[in-house]
Amino acid sequence: MTNTIIWTVAILTCLGLLLSLVLFWVASKFKVEEDPRIDEIEKTLPGANCGGCGFAGCRAFADAAVKAGNLDKNYCPVGGSEVMNKVAAILGCEVKESAPMVAVVRCNGSCANRPKINDYQGAESCKVKAALYGGDTGCLFGCLGCGDCVAACAFGALSMNPETGLPVVDESKCTACGKCVAACPKRIIELRAKGPRGMRVFVSCTNKDKGPVARKACSAACIGCGLCEKTCTHGAITVADNVAYIDFAKCKLCRECEAVCPTGAIHGVGFPKPLDKEAVKKRIADRKARAAEAAKAAVQPEVKKEESNG
Amino acid sequence: MLDVVIALLPALLVSFLFYGWSELLVIAVSAVSCVGLEWLIARFVMKRPELFSGSSALVTGLLLAMNLPTTSPWWMIVVGAVVAIGIAKMSFGGLGQNIFNPAITARVFLLISFPVQMTNWAMPTSGFIAADAVSGATPLGIIKEGIKSGLPIPEILEANGMSAVSILRDIGGSGGEISAVALLVGFVYLLIRKVVKPWIPLSIICTIALISLIFHGIDPDRFTGVAFNLVTGGVLLGAFFMATDYVTSPVSNWGGVVFGVGIGLIVMMIRYFGSYPEGMSFAILIMNCFVPLINRAFHQKKYGRA
Amino acid sequence: MAKLTFSIGGIHPADKKLAKDCKIETLPLPPKVYVSMFQHLGAMAKPVVTVGDSVKAGQIIAEPGGFISAYIHSPVSGKVTAIGPRKDLAGFNQMHIEIEVQGDEWAEGIDLSPELVTAIPEDRDFILDRIKMNGVVGLGGATFPTHVKLNPPPGKTADCLILNGAECEPFLTSDFRILLERTDEIVVGAAIMQKVLGGCPCVIGIEENKPEAIEAVRASVNRLGYPGIRVATLRKRYPQGGEKQLIDAVMHRQVRSGGLPIDVGAVVQNVATSLAVYEAVQKNKPLVTNTLTVTGDVIDPARQHNYLFRIGMPLSYIAEYAGGVPEGTVKIVSGGPMMGKAIANLDAATVKGSSSILYLGSSTLRHAATPCISCGRCADACPMGLEPFLLKRLYDAQDIEALEKNAAQDCIECGCCQYSCPAYVPLLDNIRMAKAQVMGVIRARNAKK
């Protein structure tokens, strides 16, 4: 009995030693030389492998960054500047600061604003629905409501609001990886600057139809009237293809566009106080009156001058 | 799925007539606990109530009941339901995702865990057909024991008063094993309703027949014959109702044939050379593992790609 | 003779040819028509008229926008009142020419007399030119420009012209009606196409559930005496009228994946196309009319109709003329119940290929999908021998490589899989997307070469 135990222990020990030698030999023989910085960077990254940076996962990101030696083409939207600074420290290079972004749903075609004109019965997928037909509302551009974006989000930041039928972004969870942007067949979701203290103004519509058509389909549609463009003193708004767009780099958050929009397509979020439309409108009117007076004053002497010359 | 329930009714009825109220209790406990468990798991554990399939869980429950001795205690049936629904089905993601047939997984689990309760087969005399309750071993069990003690098969049969005719009439076994005719009726119903295709059961039966023909021909003292092998044990129940489970069987016809031949082979190997008297459950479980592989190898004939 | 059929898959949906005994009626002209610039396969047509122009019926109003494209003619006489986007039946914006109807005056050179012209022009190029200039496209569903199909690339010859009179979709009866009422013209059209294809034999395939049509066409073929035309009885089975299935049934040949029917020497044309070819060549009449069935399981038999319509008539106008949308309708479909599209916008205009307005009741509503249990019925039903359940799984996993290996691109979108699925899984919806993705990958690869 004792013999058996001794033999068993002895053989197993020898076998283990022998195999560990083989493993050691194989490991050293087939070792792949890799820059240790790749591992280091990979550890620093969030590790969600979401692909928001445009690379096939965090490892690929690290690999590309080390190969390039700089971070010109690499930016991790999930980790943001904090992580990027760490990565830059490992690589010993500079990182371009970029404003924190957030996904913004640019459609306000809720069930109340945008009546249904038919019932969709196909597969519950926006992609399928968009390929099949123009959608169950009169709007060809708006949210289809099947939740492809919700399914695409790896961080649980998106959810469908059953009341409006539109997706809602949870800003605290959104990492601006851009997965939802790519998943939306109507390209409604956009990554926009989060804005100072989360304040931002955007056009919540992408309808390129002419005003009356868009308005008929959805009461909250941008009708491309251009009022906002004319009002904006910062040149941040452009109207193209019957729809306005606010350049968040130029927007100064004065909310004047929001006040003048006739359909309420322009949304301001994150502001501490609700918009006092009348006050802002009065402000605009005052400014316009002053400008008109100034113009009058500027024009009159010119006319006189011309007369005298003539 | 409701068609399968209907197809199982004749066999259930027969076993009820043979075994009486205790069998009805087994069926009821099994069906209720399977359906109830699936609902509970889908609703509260997975939090996806849409995964509750209803009739599919009922089929699992009925099949499980038909695989258990009529003397099974209620707690054992519930344990079986937990294994069938909880482990074999829902942990894989619910209906359509499981690799192994839930009812068979449960049966094998119970067979290994509670061998005494699981082999305490009542002779079919406790029901409305005869009055006295006797418990005994199944024919396959009797023969296995007999062979172990070195007796040739004809003698074993004689010693236990079993002739080829009496085997067809009154076989000790689980609820679903006792009436070949009732099972066949149910299967024919499934065929007519085009719920199942005949290839899998046919190939199982043919393989078993062929193997027992060969071995019985070589040594009739040691190996049982064709008819005996076909009607005993869970062969018919397994071939008609368990191996044909869509989820855990190959999709293509030829894949089904390979699957069936595999089951037939394994059953006969276990019966002739293994230590268990019966191997249908093991055979189906083992072949379940190969289904993804078989599906990969056998495809539909495609148009314009000859 | 034995009934012909294809060799793989197929289903047997209920026939429901409710409008089969309704004679073709001619619809009166609406106040306005809307002619889509996108009513054929290929490039969009380019308008050649401007707002304010007066046009006559049969006058060219748009020219082909590419090699695979077609001329479009004004279906009515009147004034062009607008050119711009208008919603088609799927609700997408499409360029339309709006014409206000004034009188019914036809352009010169169009023979409107009903006399049958049996003498076939000798010049092949003349025939092809007439077909092209009169905007003939395939009316079997795909609306592929006919002159392109009848002009095989060099090195390829047609061994057989198959005329598709299967009409395997339930409900539809327009092909059946023209086979009965315009038999001779269809047969002459077949003879013309035979001539263009170099005198190859022609098989007119008709499903067994239309014995009257088979008889009428047989009699006409015998009476007119063109050589090499015969009628074949096809088994009633869906999708018998699919191009690839029909070639398999009639010629026992299979078109290779990615190939064209002409690769195996087959040219398939619909019987309605044959009628259009006859009118274009013998009468110089452009394709501005077609036959359409108004039917469904929720309208009573007296309100079923087969209409001769002008293209550009709004569907709502036709529906109104036929007595309005019947009660109990939950879905209106253009085309057959299997392959047709649900109409999201009844104001959409008819196009060359319109074949029906189908009112379907609540029995046709989709059921909520339950999990796939791998029963394999879809694989049994697929006439292309694909495994739809597998394709759906691969599409969900976005495994494009495996999708291509499992031939997602071969799908003919017949809907047999979805029809046969006991779990109501939206198979075709997903496979259609998968197919588009795989085709994109294949195209990108070919472009690189």
Nearest to C73 by CA among C135, C137, C28, C26: C135
Q: What is the pLDDT of residue B164?
A: 45
In this predicted structure, the answer to whether residue B155 has a pLDDT above a threshold of 80 is no
Q: What is the pLDDT of residue B136?
A: 52
Judged by average pLDDT, the poorest of A14-28, C17-31, C354-368 is C354-368
Between A98 and B9, the higher pLDDT residue: B9
C373 and C412 Cβ atoms separated by less than 8 Å: no
> What backbone torsions phi and psi does residue B15 show, to the nearest 5 degrees?
-65, -30
Pairing status of strand B135-136 against strand B121-122: antiparallel
Half-sphere exposure of C102 (CA within 13 A, CB side): 11
In this predicted structure, the answer to whether residue A306 has a pLDDT above a threshold of 70 is no
Between A93 and C209, the higher pLDDT residue: C209
List, in sequence order, every residue forming a beta bridge with C269; answer none if it has no partner: C163
Instruction: List alpha helices for C72-167, DSSP H.
Output: 124-133, 146-149
Angle at A74 between CA A70 and CA A79, to 5 degrees: 120
Between B15 and C395, the higher pLDDT residue: C395
Q: Which two tokens stand for residue C206?
A: 């008709």
In this predicted structure, the answer to whether residue B248 has a pLDDT above a threshold of 60 is yes
Reduced to 3 states, what is the DSSP secondary structure of residue B227? Answer: helix
Cα gap A24→A17, rounded to integer Å: 10
* Mean local confidence (pLDDT), C9-20: 91
Task: Name the minimum distance, in Å, from the CA of A159 to any CA of chain C.
Answer: 20
Cα gap A133→C341, rounded to integer Å: 9
Cα gap C418→C285, rounded to integer Å: 40
User: Are C385 and B51 in contact (CB < 8 Å)?
Assistant: no
In this predicted structure, the answer to whether residue A118 has a pLDDT above a threshold of 80 is yes
* Mean local confidence (pLDDT), C322-339: 90
Angle at C137 between CA C136 and CA C140, to 5 degrees: 130
Q: Confidence class of residue A64 from pLDDT cuts 50, 70 and 90?
A: confident
Between B75 and B139, the higher pLDDT residue: B75
Cα gap A239→A208, rounded to integer Å: 10
In this predicted structure, the answer to whether residue A72 has a pLDDT above a threshold of 80 is no
User: Are A127 and C366 in contact (CB < 8 Å)?
Assistant: no
Judged by average pLDDT, the poorest of A245-254, B260-269, C231-240, C286-295 is A245-254
Side chain identity at B236, as an amino acid letter? Answer: L
- From chain C, the residues in CB contact with B303 under 8 A are 8, 244, 248, 254, 383-385, 410
* Mean local confidence (pLDDT), B257-268: 95
All structural domains of chain B with their residue ranges: 2-118, 138-171+196-297
User: Are C410 and B299 in contact (CB < 8 Å)?
Assistant: no
Q: What is the pLDDT of residue A278?
A: 87
Side chain identity at B90, as an amino acid letter? Answer: M
Q: What is the pLDDT of residue B166?
A: 47
In this predicted structure, the answer to whether residue C395 has a pLDDT above a threshold of 90 is yes
Q: Which chain C residue's Cα is nearest to A140?
A: C92
B193 vs A180, B62, B198, C367, CA distance in Å?
46, 20, 12, 21
Task: Name the minimum distance, in Å, from the CA of C251 to any CA of chain B.
Answer: 13
CATH 3.30.70.20 fits A195-305, yes or no: yes
DSSP string, A87-119: HHHHHT--------EEEEE-----TTTS-B-S-
Q: Count of H helices and E strands in chain A?
A: 11, 8
Q: Which two tokens stand for residue C29?
A: 């002209």
Cβ neighbours of A54 (radius 10 Å): 13
Angle at C74 between CA C72 and CA C75, to 5 degrees: 110
Q: Confidence class of residue A301 from pLDDT cuts 50, 70 and 90?
A: low
User: Are A132 and C345 in contact (CB < 8 Å)?
Assistant: no
In this predicted structure, the answer to whether residue A251 has a pLDDT above a threshold of 60 is yes
User: Are B304 and C257 in contact (CB < 8 Å)?
Assistant: yes
Q: Confidence class of residue B105 from pLDDT cuts 50, 70 and 90?
A: very high
* DSSP H or E run through B27: helix B21-40
Q: Which two tokens stand for residue A133?
A: 């037909």
Q: What is the pLDDT of residue A43?
A: 86
Q: Confidence class of residue B154 from pLDDT cuts 50, 70 and 90?
A: low
Mutation pick from B190, B200, B244, B300 vs chain C, by most beta carbons of C within 10 Å, is: B300
- For chains A and C, CB pairs below 8 A equal 48
pLDDT tens per residue, range C210-221:
999 999 999 999
Q: What is the pLDDT of residue B106?
A: 95
CA-only gyration radius of chain C, Å: 21
Q: What is the pLDDT of residue B134?
A: 43
Number of residues that this document lists for chain C: 449
| Sign of the CA dihedral with B219 first, then B221, B227, and B231 last | negative
Q: Confidence class of residue A138 from pLDDT cuts 50, 70 and 90?
A: confident
pTM, 2 dp? 0.84
* Mean local confidence (pLDDT), B161-166: 49
Give Cα C123 to chain centroid, integer Å: 28
Q: What is the pLDDT of residue B129?
A: 47
In this predicted structure, the answer to whether residue C142 has a pLDDT above a threshold of 80 is yes
In this predicted structure, the answer to whether residue B139 has a pLDDT above a threshold of 70 is no
Between B117 and A18, the higher pLDDT residue: A18
Reduced to 3 states, what is the DSSP secondary structure of residue B88? Answer: helix
* Mean local confidence (pLDDT), B204-208: 95
Q: Which two tokens stand for residue A13?
A: 């020990």
Q: Confidence class of residue B173 from pLDDT cuts 50, 70 and 90?
A: low
**B-contacting residues in C 383-412 (Cβ below 8 Å):** 383-387, 389, 406-407, 410
All structural domains of chain C with their residue ranges: 377-448
Reduced to 3 states, what is the DSSP secondary structure of residue C132? Answer: helix
| Sign of the CA dihedral with C246 first, then C249, C255, and C257 last | positive
In this predicted structure, the answer to whether residue B157 has a pLDDT above a threshold of 70 is no
Residues 6+ away with beta carbon under 8 Å from A259: A275, A277, A280, A281, A284
* Mean local confidence (pLDDT), A150-156: 89
Q: Which chain C residue's Cα is nearest to B304?
A: C256
C416 and C10 Cβ atoms separated by less than 8 Å: yes
* Mean local confidence (pLDDT), A195-216: 89
* Mean local confidence (pLDDT), B79-87: 94
In this predicted structure, the answer to whether residue A299 has a pLDDT above a threshold of 90 is no
Q: What is the pLDDT of residue A76?
A: 81
Positions of CATH 3.30.70.20 in chain A: 101-184, 195-305
pLDDT mean across residues, chain A: 86
Judged by average pLDDT, the poorest of A115-119, B276-280, C349-353, C374-378 is B276-280
In this predicted structure, the answer to whether residue B47 has a pLDDT above a threshold of 80 is yes
Q: What is the pLDDT of residue C34?
A: 96
Judged on CB neighbours under 10 Å (0-12, 13-18, 19+), A82 is: exposed
In this predicted structure, the answer to whether residue A192 has a pLDDT above a threshold of 80 is yes
Kindly tell me whether chain C and chain B come into contact, counting contact as 3+ Cβ pairs under 8 Å: yes
C261 and C324 Cβ atoms separated by less than 8 Å: no
Cα gap B238→B264, rounded to integer Å: 11
Nearest to C5 by CA among C398, C383, C339: C383
Instruction: List alpha helices for A204-275, DSSP H.
Output: 211-217, 227-231, 256-260
* Mean local confidence (pLDDT), A90-96: 77
DSSP string, A157-224: -EEEETTTTEEEE-TTT-----HHHHH-TT--EEEEE--GGG-EEEE-----S-HHHHHHH-TT----
Half-sphere exposure of B197 (CA within 13 A, CB side): 18
Reduced to 3 states, what is the DSSP secondary structure of residue C165? Answer: strand
pLDDT tens per residue, range B121-135:
665 554 454 434 344
| Sign of the CA dihedral with A25 first, then A26, A27, and A30 last | positive
B147 vs B140, B141, B270, B272, C423, CA distance in Å?
11, 10, 14, 10, 49
Kindly tell me whether chain B and chain A come into contact, counting contact as 3+ Cβ pairs under 8 Å: no
| % of chain C exceeding 90 in pLDDT | 81
In this predicted structure, the answer to whether residue C357 has a pLDDT above a threshold of 90 is yes
User: Are B96 and C374 in contact (CB < 8 Å)?
Assistant: yes
Q: Give the fold, CATH level 3, of A36-91.
A: 3-methyladenine DNA Glycosylase II; Chain A, domain 3 (1.10.15)
Cα gap C358→A18, rounded to integer Å: 78
In this predicted structure, the answer to whether residue A310 has a pLDDT above a threshold of 80 is no
In this predicted structure, the answer to whether residue A96 has a pLDDT above a threshold of 80 is no
Which residue reads 């030999």 in tokens? A25
Cα gap A234→A248, rounded to integer Å: 11
DSSP string, A117-139: -S---S-S-HHHHHHHSS-SBS-
Task: Name the minimum distance, in Å, from the CA of C374 to any CA of chain B.
Answer: 5
Give me the CATH code for the A101-184 domain, please: 3.30.70.20
List, in sequence order, every residue forming a beta bridge with A159; answer none if it has no partner: A168
B80 vs B93, B230, C56, CA distance in Å?
19, 26, 81
pLDDT tens per residue, range A169-187:
998 888 888 889 999 999 9
A113 and A207 Cβ atoms separated by less than 8 Å: no
* Mean local confidence (pLDDT), B179-191: 87
Reported in sequence order, the residue ranges of C311-436 that DSSP labels E, i.e. its strands, are 331-334, 341-342, 356-360
In this predicted structure, the answer to whether residue B161 has a pLDDT above a threshold of 60 is no
pLDDT tens per residue, range B24-45:
999 999 999 999 999 999 999 9
Q: Which chains touch A (3 or more CB pairs under 8 A)?
A: C
Q: What is the pLDDT of residue B169?
A: 44
